[in-house]
């Protein structure tokens, strides 16, 4: 049974980490005049209202994007996607990764989105009808294997599970190996939470053994509220594009502001 709903967590610091990276990679890839494919295995609903009771209740956006948007200059692709989202969907809207992709892609690019939860899928389907996206209510890994190698062959896959099922940690390295075997030029971006106790450790070990050239990037932050187990956010990237390591170093610097004491008059 699926119970996770991203509306409770949209715009938190993990989203800032993941979405800023995604927006940068898409901006980099679309500088070349060649079409690409974007596939997302766990898409969520696409756009979030940060004034919804669920979002307000956890306070994660207040401790996330509300704090972090000033970290990004107006010409940063993430900041541009935030501004475009607010212009199109209202001042309290926050873009999920599918909308960051839709706003960053061109008409010649292909956009494929999997979301299994019936309610989330219905929201996504309604909003994505304007984006020229293919939306599927199907298991994300099953879809990823069915679509690869995609046309166009150049492109990117975002893998962003909710880790509701602890077996995900074991299964992800196997899924990513199978996807990479079918699509060896595809950029694969996996997001994972850094939770107290480090349940992601064995998964990372397996990924680093299979993909020795993969790029791992992690940021730490204070728990959004008392008792919250998430202490940080991680990305593991297969076939990282040129320049991404430098961009991730800039993201590290931005997150480091969180540990600096707030200047008082
Ligand atoms: N990627 C989204 C974003 O950044 O805006 C957030 C996605 S959220 C972390 C994970 C989503 O995966 C949830 O909406 C959940 O319903 C969905 N989900 C869970 N299991 C799935 C599966 N096997 N296949 C596809 N979607 C799934």
247 sits in which H/E element: helix 244-256
Render each residue's pLDDT in the chain as its tens digit; 265 residues.
Answer: 678 898 999 999 999 999 999 999 999 999 999 999 999 999 999 999 999 999 999 999 999 999 999 999 999 999 999 999 999 999 999 999 999 999 999 999 999 999 999 999 999 999 999 999 999 999 999 999 999 999 999 999 999 999 988 899 999 999 999 999 999 999 999 999 999 889 999 999 999 999 999 999 999 998 887 778 899 999 999 999 999 999 999 999 999 988 754 444 3
Residue of 142, 161, 167, 190 with the most ligand 1 atoms within 8 Å of its CB, for mutation: 161
Nearest CA to ligand 1 atom 23: 139
221 φ, ψ to 5°?
A: -155, 160
85 contacts 101 by C-beta, under 8 angstroms: no
Q: For residue 261, how far is its CA from the centre of ligand 1 (angstroms)? A: 35
Q: Could you tell me if the CB of 84 is within 6 A of ligand 1?
A: no
Structure tokens at 184: 């060896």
Predicted pLDDT at 98: 98
**Ligand 1: nearest atom to the Cα of 158:** 1
**Residue keyed to tokens 């480091």:** 256
pTM, rounded to two decimals: 0.96
Phi, psi of 129 (to 5 degrees): -65, -20
Given a contact cutoff of 8 angstroms between Cβ atoms, the answer to whether 171 and 140 are in contact is: no
160 lines ligand 1 (CB under 6 A): yes
Q: Are 157 and 41 in contact (CB under 8 A)?
A: yes
* Token pair for 167: 């077996």
The Cα–Cα gap between 156 and 38 comes to: 5
Structure tokens at 102: 């839709």
Q: Which of 189, 183, 103 lies closest to 148 in space, CA to CA?
A: 183
Report pLDDT for 228.
Answer: 81
Write the pLDDT tens digit of every residue in 142-181. Answer: 999 999 999 999 999 999 999 988 899 999 999 999 999 9
Q: Is the CB of 168 under 6 A from ligand 1?
A: no
Domains in the chain, ordered, with CATH?
6-258 (3.40.50.150)
Asked whether 9 lines ligand 1 (CB < 6 A), one says no
What are the tokens at 165?
A: 């099922």
Strand 47-49 vs strand 93-95: parallel, antiparallel, or unpaired?
antiparallel
Q: Each residue of 21-40: pLDDT tens digit? A: 999 999 999 999 999 999 99
Task: Determine whether 151 is exposed, middle or buried from the number of CB atoms within 10 Å of its CB (0-12, 13-18, 19+).
Answer: exposed
> Which atom of ligand 1 is found nearest the CA of 9?
9
């Amino acid at each position: 049974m699926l119970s996770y709903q991203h509306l409770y967590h949209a715009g938190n610091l993990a989203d800032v980490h993941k979405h800023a990276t995604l927006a940068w990679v898409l901006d980099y890839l679309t500088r070349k005049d060649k079409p690409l494919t974007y596939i997302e295995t766990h898409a969520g609903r696409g756009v979030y209202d940060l004034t919804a009771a669920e979002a307000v209740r956890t306070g994660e956006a207040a401790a996330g994007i509300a704090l972090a948007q000033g970290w990004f200059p107006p010409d940063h692709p993430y900041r541009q996607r935030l501004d475009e989202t607010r212009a199109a969907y209202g001042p309290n809207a926050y873009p999920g990764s599918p909308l960051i992709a839709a706003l960053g892609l061109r008409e010649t690019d292909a956009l494929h989105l999997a979301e299994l939860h019936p309610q989330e899928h219905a929201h996504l389907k309604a909003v994505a009808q304007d984006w020229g996206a293919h939306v599927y209510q199907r298991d994300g890994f099953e879809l990823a294997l069915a679509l690869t190698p995609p046309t166009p062959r150049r492109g990117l896959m975002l893998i962003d599970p909710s880790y509701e099922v602890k077996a995900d940690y074991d299964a992800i390295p196997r899924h990513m190996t199978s996807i990479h075997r079918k699509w060896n030029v595809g950029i694969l971006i996996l997001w994972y939470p850094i939770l107290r106790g480090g349940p992601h450790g064995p998964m990372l070990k397996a990924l680093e053994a299979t993909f020795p050239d993969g790029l791992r990037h992690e940021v730490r932050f204070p728990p959004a509220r008392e008792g919250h187990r998430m202490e940080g956010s991680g990305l593991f990237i297969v076939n990282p594009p040129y320049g991404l390591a430098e961009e991730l170093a800039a993201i590290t610097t931005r997150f480091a502001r969180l540990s600096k004491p707030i200047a008082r008059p």
